[in-house]
Amino acid sequence: MMGKVLIIYTGGTIGMTKSSKGYAPADGDFEDTLKRIPELYDSQMPSWELIQLSPVKDSSNMDVHDWNRIAEMIENHYEQYDGFVILHGTDTMAYTASALSFMLEELSKPVILTGSQIPLCEIRNDARDNLITSIVIAAQGVVNEVCIFFGGSLIRGNRSTKYSSDGLIAFLSPNYPALAEAAIDIQYNYPQGIKESHLPRQLHVQYLLDVPIAVIKVFPGIKFKYYTEILNHNFRGIVIETFGAGNIPGGAENIEKAISAKDNDTIYVICSQCPAGSVSLGQYETSTILQNAEGVSGLDMTTEAAMTKLYYLISKGYERSEIIDLMEKNLRGEIRSD
Ligand code: ASP
């Protein structure tokens, strides 16, 4: 039996039209746009209803407040529907998916984010398939977590990253296998029984505070002395995107000096610029300085997951030491658990 699905339209290319300034979301009734996909109204389709964010946005303009609004829409409609499809721009979809995966505590229904690289208003588009299959996946109820469905694959939301700005397979999950592939049938590769083992589950939404968080990408020759103010004063948490397994330039300009210049409460999470693999602090001399500076290993987490996990743990009101501990623990499948 297929469940009933709520589609939440938030904006993105899927519903955009061409304006004098380029593609932009049109604030009208999105159901009119959906009429371009007659199959949606076919009797074989699971039943669905549509609501939309106001205003709808290019996802580049989204932030914590939008994540809170989307989570609130899910919370307000949670009992009436069996699954949720969030139509979203691709640019920050991996961030929203990661954030929601933490915010929606005790989730026991599918929440599928999708969108498209080509708007529905174009004859040739990827919106149709992405949307129809996402609705079916949400109605089937096999996955009970936040995912992205795009270009034929269903991937865990907090393992996803946008990989292509123009290809129709726009997202990858480099450190975790796809949860399903859309072939003739939808072939799930999903551990059954998760739902049962955690019953009863009552959704609780942890809304996020707009605390200052930063991401810094290191590069050869970076001079940390220019970052001292940022590293020490301005942020509650900083994700540092390092080389390879967590390596960072050392020498006189090293980060340890910059970080320990002042006592502060900032939490430094070490992620890698490599999409695949894991951070391994202490493997090289060039990462030992980060261990000495109390850097928290992001292991195999994406930057998107690490950043939104910081928002989540800070918003929950944990102490600094608890946050440091939980950053390395597996909360929603976002990080490897050895
Ligand atoms: N800029 C658009 C957005 O993220 C890109 C897209 O949807 O593909 O909203």
Pocket test for ligand 1, best of 9, 10, 14, 16 (most atoms within 8 A of CB): 16
- Domains of the chain listed by start with CATH number: 5-205 (3.40.50.1170), 213-327 (3.40.50.40)
Q: Dihedral sign, CA of 22, 23, 27, 31?
A: positive
- What does the pLDDT look like over 2-17, one tens digit per residue? 899 999 999 999 999 8
Nearest to 248 by CA among 219, 282, 208: 219
Active site residue 13: yes
Q: What is the pLDDT of residue 134?
A: 98
- What does the pLDDT look like over 284-328, one tens digit per residue? 999 998 888 889 999 999 999 999 999 999 999 999 999 999 999
Q: What is the pLDDT of residue 214?
A: 96
Task: Give the C-alpha separation, 236 to 266, whole Å.
Answer: 5
Counting from 1 in the atom list of ligand 1, the atom nearest the Cα of 12 is: 9
Task: Give the C-alpha separation, 152 to 125, whole Å.
Answer: 14
The protein residue whose alpha carbon is closest to atom 8 in ligand 1 is 90
Ligand 1 contacts (CB < 6 A) are: 11-13, 58-60, 89-91, 115, 117
Counting from 1 in the atom list of ligand 1, the atom nearest the Cα of 25 is: 9
State which residues of the chain have pLDDT below 50. Answer: 193
The helix (run of H) or strand (run of E) holding residue 213 is strand 213-217
Helix (H, G, I), strand (E, B) or coil at 5: strand
**Distance in Å, CA 196 to ligand 1 centroid:** 36
Counting from 1 in the atom list of ligand 1, the atom nearest the Cα of 116 is: 8
